[in-house]
Structure 1
């Protein structure tokens, strides 16, 4: 039995306590590299806790690299990790710090009950025959067909497989779109998606700020306008129908492309998902979607639907750069879509977010003002910048990362906090809210 002691009176979750103590055993040398750990079921029985507590601790330490899983042989202390930790201590180098729990706007909640389908997808990859050379830069035909079906069913976007392009996520899709546009400024929402701003700057163009919640009635001199109409990032509001029509009319008049970032549109739980802007004008809108918010950010997979008159240039640039998602990832995504994994995790996540959102609102609304309706996996709160900075510092001291609204702004004079609730466990979210409320209450 491992020499650990779990304290049920401690406010820290039992899984966190177990992970902390096991990490300390490795650092002290009590557990050495190559030591095999007890099976999770046996360790749970020894400690008098549920098996999920042990699995949570093992998963955390596996992710941090302290442990390694060997197929069919259990869980082991990673080779050499204890030796390196002791050597670092002798040199006075601090051991790796415990990672912060992310309360950001982009980390989704994934229902562990669907892990079987996830594993089956990768087993299919291992037995499938990969292409001999570079794959079709447009993406796997089977995947494009499944994405087209899903866009029609969930986003009201009637397209066929020949019109869908598989990308490495929103960022990659935006870079390809920028590559086929004239060398002119790009209009972006302010506050808005920071990675999009960086992509525009890296393309050698200037950014024109669009006040995020105002109608767009002037795009003169701009090559494109980048918007998040279904769920404005990070203020959370839906672009009204009148503003959508105004934007499209302005883009037609000023001969600008509209780039629609549809990053988490499926996660509304107050009303049905808002149809894609591209469904109103396929000739003027380049649509970008992603699997990051529904499946896994590190999958780095997305899709694009560009106007027909720009497809040839888009494909030519992709062939030139060989910038396409890896074949194994695309092949796994075929199974995940075909076997209903994506639909299942979206439904599960929507229920979880619908339950968590009121808890966040109830905790924070006495201290700050909501910037917009709460949808998806985060909420944005308006409060003075100095106060927001101090609350964020208190959160980091307690082990949580919260983003500042000011970091999304360029000319907009808004401040506050962007509080995500997709990534943490329920226990971590409760602790985080206690920390945030405690800091706000002191201020």
Structure 2
């Protein structure tokens, strides 16, 4: 039997941080640093509590948290061990950040948190791919039929968007789908929220089109002369609020008057925790709205997979072009996502992430209470906090000295006069978030 290893930990009882969180952070740091190697058996919760002169409940809470994060695993009748997935990684060195932020942990708006407890389903999906027979020639230009069947059910159940599998086009992600819509549209400017999603703005410019800024804080009532309007109605990027019912109807009416298309980027729609997810804008008018969805905020950005439900005229034009260009996602990725949908993996990671984001959002709001007010309601995997630009720069500098890069709201604006910071909490641990919030609070002080 493997011998347990002592865990050298010092707990600060005068700190406002709960002892269980301190203990979890200390053990996590030692696993990451390699001090506690993979497969190392740890002391029992009873023994550890005795060594640290704390209650056994403190040790149990710490172990439970680390097991949920995937750092530790419990083996029935044997004990608690450093998990196989907890390989040492390079530590951040916040005291010496390199130019460009390469040593900084970026608290961005797009990196999701994936519950490590669901790794088995992820591995199972790729085993399914390994035994499946790939197509001998180019795959269906619309995307795998099996995947489009699964997506049709998924969209109807989760987004209130009723469509047939033949109305869905599988894409390489949001920007891949956006590029295909842009190529099929008639000439003319594209209205774009300001502030707004920078990657979309860059794609529009790269397509040789003019961007017409529309204030993200105001309803869109005039699209005269525009070929389309790009919007993020479920969770405005980067300010956060959901587009109201009245504003949705006004936008659709403006699009019909101008014979324009509304390009709906269903960004972050799964992660409302103040209310149930708001149905897709496309559910109100399929003839006007081109709907873009993606795996980036659920399964992960690196999967490079998305889907497009376009108005009939655009669908035909895009599909005809794809029959020539074969511009669709790789077959193995599509096949894996079929398994992830059928297996319930996607629903599981969304539920887990929603709970995690809700708890982290509360911590952000609590940490900033009295010194700054996030835009409400907070949803998704980030919060945006308005403040004067000099203050925002000071806060970002304070965060940088502690090893974190905090995006500035001004960088998302083109003509809008809004300033502040954005705090993403998907791509970090609870401990990293606490340290980042402490640095931000110091910058605000």
When the two structures are superposed, what TM-score results if normalisation uses the length of structure 2?
0.82
Deviation at 1:131, TM superposition (A): 1.2
Q: Report the counterpart of residue 206 of structure 1 in structure 2.
A: 210
Contact 2:181 2:314 in 1 (8 A): no
The answer as to 2:285 corresponding to 1:287 is: no
Deviation at 1:15, TM superposition (A): 2.9
Q: 2 CA distance for matches of 1:257 and 1:56?
A: 50
Q: 1 CA distance for matches of 2:9 and 2:201?
A: 47
Contact 1:235 1:372 in 2 (8 A): no
Alignment coverage as a number of residue pairs: 394
Contact 1:121 1:332 in 2 (8 A): yes
Q: Which runs of 5+ in 2 are unaligned?
A: 13-21, 49-58, 73-80, 92-97
Where do 1:12-411 residues align within 5 Å?
Answer: 13-20=26-33, 40-42=38-40, 44=42, 52=71, 59=86, 61=88, 99-411=103-415
| Alpha-carbon spacing, 1:336–1:156, altered in 2? closer, same or farther (3 Å) | same
Contact 2:159 2:278 in 1 (8 A): yes
Q: 2 CA distance for matches of 1:57 and 1:367?
A: 42
Q: Provide the secondary structure at the position in 2 that maps to 1:245.
A: helix
State the 4+ residue runs in structure 1 displaced beyond 6 angstroms: 48-51
Q: Provide the secondary structure at the position in 1 that maps to 2:422.
A: strand
| Alpha-carbon spacing, 1:43–1:280, altered in 2? closer, same or farther (3 Å) | same
Contact 1:15 1:57 in 2 (8 A): no
Q: Provide the secondary structure at the position in 2 that maps to 1:403.
A: coil
Q: 2 CA distance for matches of 1:440 and 1:123?
A: 49
Q: Deviations over 1:223-266 (max 9, x none)?
A: 10000111111111111111111111110001110000002111
Q: 1 CA distance for matches of 2:34 and 2:417?
A: 45
Q: Deviations over 1:266-290 (max 9, x none)?
A: 1111111111100010000000001
Q: 1 CA distance for matches of 2:8 and 2:141?
A: 53
Q: Provide the secondary structure at the position in 2 that maps to 1:388.
A: helix
Q: Provide the secondary structure at the position in 2 that maps to 1:154.
A: helix
- RMSD in angstroms over aligned alpha carbons? 2.7
Q: Report the counterpart of residue 73 of structure 1 in structure 2.
A: none
Q: Deviations over 1:69-123 (max 9, x none)?
A: xxxxxxxxxxxxxxxxxxxxxxxxx9xx984323211111111111111110011
Bigger shift: 430-439 or 188-197? 430-439
| Alpha-carbon spacing, 1:18–1:288, altered in 2? closer, same or farther (3 Å) | same
| Alpha-carbon spacing, 1:60–1:105, altered in 2? closer, same or farther (3 Å) | farther
Where do 1:401-440 residues align within 5 Å?
Answer: 401-440=405-444
| Alpha-carbon spacing, 1:58–1:115, altered in 2? closer, same or farther (3 Å) | closer
Contact 2:374 2:384 in 1 (8 A): yes
Contact 1:4 1:21 in 2 (8 A): no
Q: Provide the secondary structure at the position in 1 that maps to 2:270.
A: coil
Q: Deviations over 1:329-349 (max 9, x none)?
A: 111100100010001111111
Q: Provide the secondary structure at the position in 1 that maps to 2:143.
A: coil
| Alpha-carbon spacing, 1:155–1:8, altered in 2? closer, same or farther (3 Å) | same
Contact 2:104 2:403 in 1 (8 A): yes
Q: Which runs of 5+ in 1 are unaligned?
A: 23-37, 66-93
Q: Provide the secondary structure at the position in 2 that maps to 1:189.
A: strand
Deviation at 1:57, TM superposition (A): 10
Q: Report the counterpart of residue 17 of structure 2 in structure 1.
A: none
Q: Deviations over 1:4-30 (max 9, x none)?
A: 9955459774433453467xxxxxxxx
| Alpha-carbon spacing, 1:179–1:61, altered in 2? closer, same or farther (3 Å) | farther
When the two structures are superposed, what TM-score results if normalisation uses the length of structure 1?
0.83
Contact 1:16 1:57 in 2 (8 A): no
Contact 2:287 2:312 in 1 (8 A): yes
Q: 2 CA distance for matches of 1:243 and 1:40?
A: 53
Deviation at 1:307, TM superposition (A): 0.5
Q: Deviations over 1:114-151 (max 9, x none)?
A: 11111100111111111112211211111111111011
Contact 2:365 2:373 in 1 (8 A): no
Q: 1 CA distance for matches of 2:209 and 2:136?
A: 38
